[in-house]
Amino acid sequence: MRQAAKAIRENGADAEVRALQMAADGCHQRLKAAQIRDGAAEDAASALKECAALARAGRVKAPGISPASSVVLAYTGDFGFTADPLGDLLTPIALERGSQLLNKLSASDRAAFDKMLADAHTPQEAAYLWNALAAGHSFADVQAFGRLIHPHGKDLKWMYDHLDPHINSRNTGTGRGHERELTYRTRYFTRTYDGKGFGFERIYQQNKNNCVSASTLVARAANDPVFMLGLTTGEGPGAVGGATPGDDSQGALRNRLTTIYDATDAKHPGGKNGSELFTNQLGPAAGSGYHNNQGVDTPAERREYLPAIESAVNEGKPVPITVVKSDKDDPGAHEVIILAARDDKLEVYNPWGYTRWVTKQQFIDGEMGRVTGAAPNRGHDDPTSVALPQ
């Protein structure tokens, strides 16, 4: 991998294909060496990570996108390059979907998009342009989005704040009880007025019994920077009402969120027609529809669904699930979103405005109470439905 990087630096674009082949050969050699040595687990893990880098970049298959550019897109994080999947701006499915949709553009539109990428001030700006296309927006909308963010293309902090809710726990602040609060411009709460007095609310939390719409829309924003810009500024093709366009304060974001939560909940009260809701909001970025699987009530059924859940989130496709209270006297239901799988854990977004990790065994056993701040076997602990991309 070091030789490959050196070849690209010294010889430029003509060396990119050869450099990637060198890297692939190096991965093979390192893995083979690790396999025949005793106590080589760390070497093997390191080699596998380098091979994974090539595999991830290989999801980009589009004319005009060089191998080196593919690597840059695949490993751009908020403020630099990262090998942490939770820190990359583009998920595997975004890399692939962007390629598919780019290949469907006319020759003139492809050339225009290539120029947008070339003119981007930073890899981060280029990654957000790619993500806008991957989220299923028309090319005209991608161009409009590009014109809005280009003046901020050198300002990594502005893009961090306005184009991604950073829903995963790698980038959110620590809250009470080990949950991770979603923040916006360094704060996770905003001052509100209910007609009787002032109070404070988490910026992203649901505003009433609209947990299904609230969780789904925030998950969408994580994969759709056009929509996220519409939430944070009220501008662009994804503009959301509820506050003055151009006002990017915490209060304005909160007002736009509650506006879109309520509007979506009015169409799907209590998550009615969940498959349709998830398909409409999450399907464009996932590249497929969603099906809400009911009756996932037993440990055996949850264990059966776990591989499909892990496969989906590893691609960058969020998985909505319904959890209910095992307390028979209060059988309330709540919607949360599984975002990631790492080692023996699952990362879950609660539309109260934070994420939390639970173990896979807790998911299987129906002991997810920690997600809602209770003991593992209390509160909303039992998963009963799983919505999966098809």
Q: How many domains does the chain have?
A: 3
* DSSP notation for 228-247: HHHHHHS-STT---SS-TT-
Query: Angle, to 10 degrees, between the axis of helix 41-57 and the axis of helix 92-104?
Result: 20
pLDDT (average), residues 152-175? 82
Residue 38 — pLDDT band, cuts 50, 70, 90? Answer: very low
pLDDT given for residue 175 in this prediction: 46
State whether 8 and 138 are in the same domain. Answer: yes
164-208 residue pLDDT tens = 999 986 544 434 467 888 999 998 887 665 566 556 788 999 988
State whether 14 and 149 are in the same domain. Answer: yes
Domain span at residue 261 reads: 163-271
pLDDT given for residue 12 in this prediction: 46
State whether 199 and 136 are in the same domain. Answer: no
51 has pLDDT over 50: yes
State whether 342 and 318 are in the same domain. Answer: yes
State whether 10 and 135 are in the same domain. Answer: yes
Q: Domain end: 145, 160, 175, which one?
A: 160
State whether 211 and 81 are in the same domain. Answer: no
State whether 226 and 338 are in the same domain. Answer: no
332-359 residue pLDDT tens = 799 999 999 988 999 999 999 999 999 9
pLDDT given for residue 89 in this prediction: 96
196-238 residue pLDDT tens = 655 678 899 998 899 999 999 999 999 999 999 999 999 999 9
In angstroms, the Cα distances linking 157 to 121, 160, 182 are 14, 5, 16
Backbone φ/ψ region at 131: left (φ over 0), alpha (ψ -120 to 50), beta: alpha
Residue 378 — pLDDT band, cuts 50, 70, 90? Answer: confident
State whether 257 and 283 are in the same domain. Answer: no
Give the SS3 label for residue 126: helix
Dihedrals phi, psi of 349, to nearest 5 degrees: -95, 125
269-321 residue pLDDT tens = 877 788 999 999 999 999 999 999 998 999 999 999 999 999 999 999 999 99
Residue 6 — pLDDT band, cuts 50, 70, 90? Answer: very low
- Residue 333 belongs to a domain with what CATH number? 3.90.70.50
The continuous run of DSSP H or E covering 298 comes out as none
Residue 24 — pLDDT band, cuts 50, 70, 90? Answer: very low
More confident site: 178 or 94:
94
State whether 101 and 21 are in the same domain. Answer: yes
State whether 63 and 151 are in the same domain. Answer: yes
State the Cα–Cα distance between residues 314 and 309, nearest whole angstrom: 9
Q: Domain end: 271, 287, 310, which one?
A: 271
pLDDT given for residue 193 in this prediction: 58
How far does the chain reach from its first CA to its final CA, in angstroms?
A: 36
State whether 121 and 248 are in the same domain. Answer: no
State whether 134 and 188 are in the same domain. Answer: no
Assigned token pair, 226: 């056009």
pTM of the model: 0.84
Position of tokens 């496709």?
Answer: 317
Q: Domain end: 160, 190, 212, which one?
A: 160
